[in-house]
Amino acid sequence: MRLDASGLEVLDREDCLALMRSVTLGRVVFTDRALPAIQPVHFVLDGDDVIIAATPGSKLASATRGTIVAFEADAFESDTRFGWSVTVIGQARAVRVATEIERLSRLPLRSWAPRCHDYFIRIRGDYISGRRIHPTYLEATR
């Protein structure tokens, strides 16, 4: 097990992907009018890629056309002081191929927005990193 300078466990790619599959809510970080913006989204993984649904013409859909974005998913339990965080950095693009849209529409992806059924954004999992905190690590470093 590898620890970073803060005593957090450094996760490998497979651990990161497995943890991301355990949650359905994350945050996409993009640029909006030259400023950073963050939006919570429901997501699913398709291989190493993050798939989110968006409304065509929305701020999120417009801002993620071929741009590099960050995506973050996490889970923390304050009572047990256990948690993890995973970040994906990669190019975002609208899915335009009809057969791919049809296949993605069958994935268990549910959007909060009522009109997000068939417009998908794929975030390539080019760079995936994660950290996990364990209460035992905290106690050992005190």
Range scoring the smallest mean pLDDT among 10-14, 19-23, 75-79: 75-79
What residues are paired with 83 via a beta bridge? 76, 133
Q: The CATH number of 9-140 is which of 3.30.450.20, 3.40.1160.10, 2.30.110.10, 2.60.120.10?
A: 2.30.110.10
pLDDT in tens, 84-104: 999 999 999 999 999 999 999
pLDDT in tens, 116-140: 667 899 999 999 999 999 766 555 5
Report which of residues 2 and 25 the model is more confident about.
25
109-127 burial string, b = 16+ CB within 10 Å, else e? bebeeeebeebbbbbbbee
Task: Report d(CA 137, CA 27) in Å as an integer.
Answer: 27
Report which of residues 60 and 71 the model is more confident about.
71
Q: What ranges do the domains of the chain cover? A: 9-140
pTM of the model: 0.88
